[in-house]
A and B are shown apart, each in its own frame.
Chain A
Amino acid sequence: EPEVTQTPSHQVTQMGQEVILRCVPISNHLYFYWYRQILGQKVEFLVSFYNNEISEKSEIFDDQFSVERPDGSNFTLKIRSTKLEDSAMYFCASSDEVASLDTQYFGPGTRLTVL
């Protein structure tokens, strides 16, 4: 069964460093999402992406964040200068265009630890 994959599974970085989290959505999906979950808190929406541009973004998704679909398969989240409070689990998700109310399929997540 097709699945969303994410790399790395765990990323440790120093405060102020740039990180890139990678996702490979399900191949025929056209909508892509990033969510984050700070330890012990609820999952929060960051950004959605469709047709090579951001469709929607939350207040969390400030200028330190950017997303890109550099090729036909990868979808990346970049944090330019990490802060301690960026430590969280980051989930990528994708959904199909066929049904406008389609299920979002989640990747296994990348645990980001900022020291």
Chain B
Amino acid sequence: KNEVEQSPQNLTAQEGEFITINCSYSVGISALHWLQQHPGGGIVSLFMLSSGKKKHGRLIATINIQEKHSSLHITASHPRDSAVYICAVRLGPGGGADGLTFGKGTHLIIQP
């Protein structure tokens, strides 16, 4: 059974700081997702990775398949980045119907 572990569970930082959230998983995967969940509950997909690195604005996601580890970085953090960041992995051969296995999330607060 695949376990998805995130660290830290909670993170409070000052505006402008560089943020790193980590995710590790225990078995082979076909893809890894980083998701953002705001206080209202809605979930937004940030990245889907199967290898390497992706960048979107101030967000950067990396994955090391051999080490079964991924990181999400936020540069020049802003209070509007405050949210729960969730790592989720897709098992299986990569068919579109694979459900995701989720981590517990990292609760990020950026203070002005």
* Residues A104 and B33 in contact, CB atoms below 8 Å apart: yes
Chain A contact residue count (CB 8 A cutoff):
33
- Would you call A91 an interface residue if the criterion is a C-beta within 8 Å of the partner chain's C-beta atoms? yes
**Bound: A37/B45 CA distance, A:** 16
Of B35, B42, B86, B97, which is within 8 A of A109 by CB?
Answer: B42
Of B30, B42, B97, which is within 8 A of A108 by CB?
Answer: B42
* Residues B97 and A42 in contact, CB atoms below 8 Å apart: no
Chain B contact residue count (CB 8 A cutoff):
27
- Residues in B with CB closer than 8 Å to A31 are 96-97
In the complex, which residue of chain B has the Cβ closest to the Cβ of A53?
Answer: B97
Contacts A89-B41, A106-B45, A109-B41 given: A45-B50 contact, CB under 8 Å? no
- Would you call B94 an interface residue if the criterion is a C-beta within 8 Å of the partner chain's C-beta atoms? yes
- Would you call A44 an interface residue if the criterion is a C-beta within 8 Å of the partner chain's C-beta atoms? yes
- Would you call B44 an interface residue if the criterion is a C-beta within 8 Å of the partner chain's C-beta atoms? yes
- Residues in A with CB closer than 8 Å to B102 are 35, 42-45
Of A47, A48, A106, which is within 8 A of B42 by CB?
Answer: A106
- Residues in A with CB closer than 8 Å to B30 are 101
CB distance from A56 to the nearest CB of B (A): 6
Please provide the chain B residues from 57 to 88 with a CB less than 8 Å away from any CB of chain A in the complex.
86, 88
* Residues A43 and B96 in contact, CB atoms below 8 Å apart: no
- Would you call A65 an interface residue if the criterion is a C-beta within 8 Å of the partner chain's C-beta atoms? no
- Residues in A with CB closer than 8 Å to B100 are 33, 35, 43, 45, 104
**Bound: A56/B98 CA distance, A:** 7
A34-60 vs B, CB cutoff 8 Å, 1 = contact: the mask equals 010100011111111110000110100
* Residues A30 and B96 in contact, CB atoms below 8 Å apart: yes
B interface, CB within 8 angstroms of A: 30-31, 33, 35, 40-45, 48, 50, 86, 88, 90, 94-105
